[in-house]
Structure formats: C-alpha cells, structure tokens
Structure 1
Amino acid sequence: MRILSCAMAALFVATPVVHANRAENDAAMLQRANASGCMACHTLLPAPRRADGLPPIAPAWRDIAIKYRDDPAASDRLTRIVMTGSNPNARHWVGKVSNVAMPPNAVAIAEDDARVLVNWILVLVP
C-alpha cells in the first residue's frame, strides 16, 4: 500500500500544471457565455441605446463588475440570479437597461459553470 501511495504522489508531482493566459481564459469564458445564451442580452462593455431608442436589454458585464466589486456576497448573489432569474419588482438598473427581468437559466447552464462565469465577470475591472 505504501508503494502505491508513493507512486500516486510521484504521478501528481510529475504532472505539470497548465494555466491559460488571460486572453485564452477570456476567450473560453466568452465561448461559454455564448453557448449558454448570455450574450443574447448582455454585452461585455456598455452599449449605447439601440436603434429604436430603447436602452440595452441587460447591463454590460463591465458595469456589473463595477457595481459589485466591493460586495463580498456578490458571487453567491449573482450566481443565484443567473440560476433562478431576477425579481422584476426589485430592479436596480432602472433607466439604464430595459424593463425585462432576467429569466431563470438553470436549463441553459449548470450552476458550477454559472459561478465560474460570474466570478470571471466580477474581475473584469480592477
């Protein structure tokens, strides 16, 4: 048993750790967001009013990052909103985005993937 545990330990030590660089990570996150339908409503950077004069459908992720960057509970709160949808009566982007509430997305994205995206969004600005 000791030989097996030493062999396993050696395997873990010998396995190189691979990290994506920032551009690769950003590309992977945007691909995940596109595959999950997030980009149908959200943009990465703030968007101007649409051609019909209406505001963007949803807040830009940079604006979300700025709004929540000092909130230690933001990751949990925003992941819950992604999964269950937003409360149309508790709107906090009034006048900046449309009056459409965020729908539940549990059928479009797994909670773990949603949390990874939310955490990436929260670090889009320093």
Structure 2
Amino acid sequence: MPTSTSRASMLNKFRRHPRVRIPTPIACELAWRDEQRWFGKSVHGPGVVYDLSLRGMRVSTEAPIKPGDHVSLLVRLPRQAAPAEIAVATVRWAKDQIYGLAFQRLSSTSHGRLRRYMTVFSKGIR
C-alpha cells in the first residue's frame, strides 16, 4: 500500500506546476487586498509556507481569510536577499487554518526567485 508521501509524489508528477515540499517552513506576510485599494500598509497576518509551486502555495495563518479572498504576500526565501513579492493571490481552499493560494500576479523578478528556490530544493524531493 502506498504511503501518503509516495502518493503525493506520484500525483505531483501529473501537475502542470509541480509542488516543492519545504524542508523548513518559510515565513511569509499576508495583506488583505481590496479590488479598489490596499487597506493601508499594515500586515494583515503572518503565515508559514509548507509547500510551493510556481503558481501557488499551501500556507498556515491565523489571518481571517476565506476562499475567494485576494491577498498579497511577501515570502522570505532562504539564501535570497529580498523576499519574493506576490502582488495578488486568490484563496482557493481552506481547512482549519491551512489555505491553498493560487498566484494571480507576480513580477518576473519574484517568479525568478521562486524558480531558483524550487530548482535547488526539488533535486532531493521525488
């Protein structure tokens, strides 16, 4: 019988944008985004990233977000001077305080930071 890890690994092969499981949780900051304007510059809530792809992530946070909300994120990737900034991500699903986020808009610089991080850490994950 396959373990949940091997099952997840097998399913990952069929994803358009494979996920990388984060060996050590990464801190991020979430800000709630309104369609018209930002609600100030204050951080809406800290979070912890557990897995990541070029199109989304699984994050844990106590911020009061729900499916359909739009958020922005700063993700502090190890060994990178500046955080990756995701301008807009949509909350796709929620279970307890774990959320699936789909990236809607991020700069080419942030996309490159995510890609470099994933290239380094995906080599040991199958």
TM-score relative to the length of structure 1:
0.28
Structure ranking higher in helix proportion = 1
Tell which structure's C-alpha radius of gyration is larger: 1
Structure ranking higher in strand proportion = 2
Flag the structure with more relative contact order, 1 or 2, with Cα contacts below 8 A and sequence separation at least 6: 1
TM-score relative to the length of structure 2:
0.28
